[in-house]
Amino acid sequence: MARQIVLNFLLAFVWMFLNSDWTLAGLFIGYVVGILPLVVFRRFFDQPLYLRKVWACIRLFYVFMKLMIISNIDVLRHLFRRKLAIRPGIVALKTTMKTDLEITLFTNMITLTPGTVAIEVSLDKSTVYIHAMDIDDAEKLATDLKNSLERAIMGVTR
């Protein structure tokens, strides 16, 4: 993947040289134009095109920001109520993530969202225990996290 990025920058500099345009805009245009040969010749690379990982990182950022905004609104809604009506609980989430990087990203992102904390990871790394401030349905929470955040993290790391 690093070779593809370096090759893309090399193509961008060749573009700048051929057009005698040594500006930041020329570099950007050359970089975008340099993507085309990488797409055409992607079958000669030993790894998938690096733009897939870039897109997966953007998707992970979007999913995390969406979870962050939703959980902030939920916490604010509970703060401004006259009567505290929360149902805290612990959810055991069965995960398919295996590497330490994937599990660390998942637990840190869970802990960063307001109202949830990753408590513990089982020794065999198959279950993550999450404490949530307000749980309507534990199965729905586990399924939502598995289908959104876990899938986005695995898209970046695999």
- Give tens-digit pLDDT for 128-139: 999 999 998 999
Structural domain boundaries, residue 114: 58-157
CATH number, domain with residue 97 = 3.30.70
Q: Does residue 119 fall inside a structural domain? A: yes
Are 29 and 102 members of one domain? Answer: no
Q: Is residue 53 part of a domain?
A: no
Contact present, 156 and 56 (Cβ < 8 Å): yes
Tell me: do 12 and 85 sit in the same domain: no
Reported confidence tier of residue 85, pLDDT bands at 50, 70, 90:
confident
Number of domains, the chain: 2
Q: What tens digit of pLDDT does each residue of 2-29 get?
A: 889 999 999 999 999 999 989 999 999 9
Q: Is residue 99 located within the same domain as residue 142? A: yes
pTM of this structure: 0.83
Asked whether residue 96 is domain-assigned, the answer is yes
